[in-house]
Chains A and B, each alone.
Chain A
Amino acid sequence: MRAGQAQGDPELLTALAGGDLAAMRTLYDRHAPWLSARLTRRCNNPDAVADVLQDTFVALWQGAERWRGDGEVAAWLWGIAVHRLVSRLRGRREALVLPLEDLAAARPPEPSAEERVLLDVEFGDLGTALLRLSPEMRAVVQATVLDGLSTRQAARLLGIPANTVKTRLHRAKAHLRQDLAGGFA
């Protein structure tokens, strides 16, 4: 077991801001695996994923003091990583058109509701509705709603024009609304 294994992420970030490389190693061990898995689901180029992972932790090393101290460190790291991915992909078509995201889980009201949300999305009306979207629309919903990217960033990630992102998101919402309304009726 490494030193500092028992420390929480925020404490490790504080240590890291003070130049503690061991603290960063612990953070890396905790977060690199899931970050790399999640990035791989958005970009099928292992080199690009490795670069983005490196950039993310180098950025962390250089700017750990920018951590505001609230919320999940994991969410913050993902924010850095997905933005790095977008700038890494700049115009190149390496991104996968990917699975969808669940609208309801995008802003979970509180952690304790997660289980319900997961199950609801999987088996509920929303899940069914989402599955009915075309893969292109789902990719847009995922990038904008769940990964929190702006229209322009999502466009870059997916390699499509920004206006297309807007149109697809608009249509996706309309589809979902219609499906759900139909389901309840």
Chain B
Amino acid sequence: MTTWHADEALLADYVSGDADPLLGASLEQHLTHCAECRARIAVHVGTAPLEAVWARIQDHAEAGRPAVLERLLVRLGASPPDALLVAKAPSLRASWLFGLATTVAFAGFGAAWGGTHGLALFLLVAPLVPVAGVAFAYGPDVDPAYETGLAAPYPEARLLLLRSAAVLVTSLPLTLLAGQLVPNLSWTAVSWLLPALAFTAVVLAASTWARPVYVAVVLGVGWVVAVGAASWARDPAAVLAPALLVTYVVLGAVAVLVLCLRIRRFDRLGSSS
């Protein structure tokens, strides 16, 4: 161990910024290795600012470590409050995502080896995946932080849209991947995206009047009936006939338009304003 130690005058000068540049630089090197001088310099540093910083650190520490998803979002450029709120969406939980992956995998394998019925299963599941995700992203029925959110000075429309975007980003690639298993129907593997996006837009637009979950259930039942009827007629892919695809596009466009017009006016989702 070294026997040299900084004297009080040098420490005081260093902290006040008056130390000679060379001595200051040398002291910094010494401090890195000398616990004794580090302890002695503390006397010269004002405690009030340090205590204020400690209070903030303590807040952070006691708030717990952010979840993996939250940290990922922050890394991608989201602000910490946005990331916290988005990551709390029920349909972004690991259990939801695991269930989603399993369901989509089954649907994909069904489409690959299950013949017509398998294809029907895939067509049944794929467009409803993002719809369910968005419906379970926000609202009094599903969000444990819903009331807290209402009381917070944070625009709900923003929260809804951010969470929906996050849901689409997590669920669509998974489903697209499973769609690659659909044999001989490369177009079907992608074209389900149109009803999926249209329905998602409808849920979002309708959520300015009704609870998202109810809307999603109505849409889901309608879709199940349509796919069921189509596969009864031995061609489940009929729900993706060109004429219907155009309908989905129109439906989606109208929904987006309605959403744009309504979103600034609602103060509480799921209730008429």
Contact = CB atoms under 8 A, between A and B. Distances in A.
Decide whether A and B are members of one complex: yes
Interface of A: 21, 24-25, 28-34, 36-38, 40-41, 46, 50, 53-54, 57-58, 61-62, 72, 74-75, 78, 98-102, 105-106, 108, 111-112, 114-115, 117-119, 121-122, 127, 130-131, 138, 142, 146
A41 B17 contact: yes
B61 A138 contact: no
Nearest to B5: A115
A40 B28 CA distance: 12
Contact of A127 (B22, B39, B49): B22
Contact of B28 (A21, A131, A146): A146
12 contacts: A21-B58, A21-B61, A37-B15, A37-B45, A40-B17, A54-B57, A58-B57, A100-B21, A102-B29, A117-B29, A122-B22, A122-B23
B50 A33 contact: yes
A153 B263 CA distance: 43
Interface in B2-40: 2-4, 14-15, 17, 21-26, 28-35, 38-39
Contacts of A36: 45, 49-50, 53
Task: For chain B, give the interface size range.
Answer: 35 or more
B60 interface: yes
B26 A122 contact: yes
A114 B61 CA distance: 37
Interface string B48-63: 0110111011101110
A115 B30 CA distance: 9
Contacts of A41: 14, 17, 24
Contact of A74 (B24, B31, B54): B31
Given A28-B57, A117-B29, 20 more contacts: A21-B62, A30-B38, A31-B38, A33-B50, A36-B53, A37-B14, A40-B17, A57-B57, A61-B60, A98-B21, A99-B22, A99-B24, A102-B22, A106-B29, A112-B2, A121-B22, A121-B25, A122-B22, A122-B26, A131-B21
Contacts, number: 131
Contact of A105 (B25, B52, B54): B25
Nearest to B14: A37
The secondary-structure label for the interface of chain A is helix
B221 interface: no
Given A25-B54, A101-B25, A111-B33, A34 B62 contact: no
B28 A111 contact: no
Contacts of A24: 57, 61
B65 interface: yes
Given A30-B39, A34-B41, A117 B26 contact: yes
B42 interface: yes
Nearest to A60: B57
